Amino acid sequence: MDTEGAEGSVRVDAWLWSVRLTKTRSQAAAACKAGHVRVNDTRIKPAHALRAGDQVRLFHAGRERVVVVVKIVRKRVGAPVAVQCYIDNSPPPPPKEFVAPAAVRDRGAGRPTKRDRRELERLQQRANP
């Protein structure tokens, strides 16, 4: 059975799952229903027909992904093949905030004492003025 189609269309929720932009198809469908998926700047339903050349905007897991469909796939494919199915025009992910590990304790040290807790709170207040 051929998983790639030169022409034709596929449901947008199935395609998002197939190219690994969402972990499950139900997550893709829920994102469509919530209005987090746009095809060519139009909010769509999960059953919307997706064709090659369409631009898909997906807001998922706190990040916006902007992709252009290159290949139509109907079944989930491996990561190397999935990357070839779209052109990623997404903005870079936001930088992760560096948080100094203020409360590092040795494994097996047990619960902190009242003195330890006060020291930790003092350190946290210095870190977050």
Find the CATH number of the domain harbouring 43.
Answer: 3.10.290.10
Same domain, 80 and 26: yes
Same domain, 58 and 102: no
Same domain, 73 and 103: no
Please give the mean pLDDT across all residues of the chain: 87
Same domain, 104 and 55: no
Domain that holds residue 26: 4-88
Q: With 50 as the cut, is the pLDDT of residue 59 above it?
A: yes
CA 17 to each of CA 14, 41, 83, 88, 106: distance values in angstroms, whole numbers, following the listed order: 5, 20, 13, 16, 41
pLDDT band at 5 (very low <50, low <70, confident <90, very high): very low
Same domain, 49 and 72: yes
Residues contacting residue 82 through CB under 8 Å, at least 6 positions apart: 18, 19, 20, 73
Q: With 90 as the cut, is the pLDDT of residue 122 above it?
A: no
CA 117 to chain CA centroid, nearest Å: 37
Q: What percent of the chain has pLDDT over 70?
A: 88
Question: What pLDDT was estimated at residue 96?
Answer: 73
Same domain, 69 and 22: yes
Q: What average pLDDT does this structure show over 11-39?
A: 96
Instruction: Give the DSSP H or E segment for 123.
Output: helix 114-127
Same domain, 41 and 15: yes
CA 112 to each of CA 76, 118, 123, 125, 128: distance values in angstroms, whole numbers, following the listed order: 48, 10, 15, 18, 21
Number of domains forming the structure of the chain: 2
Comparing C-alpha atoms, which of 41, 73, 43 is closest to residue 54? 41
Question: What pLDDT was estimated at residue 101?
Answer: 62
Q: With 60 as the cut, is the pLDDT of residue 80 above it?
A: yes
Residue that the structure tokens 């870079």 belong to: 92
- Phi first, then psi, for residue 2 (nearest 5°) are -85, 125
Tokens matching residue 39:
């095809």
